[in-house]
Amino acid sequence: MGVTEQKRLKILSEDELEAIYSRPHFTNEERSNYFSLSQPEKELLQTLRSIKSQVYFVLQLEYFKAKHQFFTFDLHEVMEDLQYVLEQHFDNSKIADLNQINRFTRLKQQYLILELFDYCDCDAKERQKIMLRAHKTVAVCSKPVYIFREIIHYLYEQRIVAPGYSSMQKMVSEALTYEQNRLTAIMQDHLKQSDIEALNRSF
């Protein structure tokens, strides 16, 4: 059975998955570091209208600083971070509506953050480049976790936001299938049919 025919490829342990893809959970000391704002960040903040929008921007910004990813959340899910931001930057103002901010505003803020840090989203063009890197990597080592880490390293180098875990699983699976097909083609070019049949019988 080829890699693409199997169930979704397991690459990371639960702890590894949590470490890479879960929303950051800061200690008080970490909050004092991550939730400070540079002058360019303060200037961007002032372009937003409501306090709720500004607070959400600060939270998205600092979570991005920590993991170079974006997260969807309601404000009541991040109460400790919310209270800290309100205290440090908004004179302990109150926000009545703690539900998620609307999608348009959230995506607009993410675009501003990407521009600020000279990052880009992982669009179709970038995914093609990632697959080229994955094809080169799998020729060196076919362990899924090795390919995954090489892709993550490439994304960090190129300042690209990492796609979700399921997308990464798909890309690693496609790279493994590509290498499997490449090696099969080489065998077919250099071995006699009887040799290939003998090898198939050995598996």
Q: Which residues contact 130 (CB under 8 A, 6 or more apart)?
A: 122, 151, 154, 155, 160, 171
Count of CB atoms situated within 10 Å of the CB of 148 = 23
Per-residue pLDDT tens over the stretch 155-190:
999 999 999 999 999 999 999 999 888 888 877 776
Per-residue pLDDT tens over the stretch 124-164:
999 999 999 999 999 999 999 999 999 999 999 999 999 99
- The mean pLDDT of the chain is 89
96 pLDDT exceeds 90? no
d(CA 94, CA 160): 35
- Distances, alpha carbon 72 to alpha carbons 22, 97, 177, in Å: 11, 16, 33
9: tokens are 């490829």
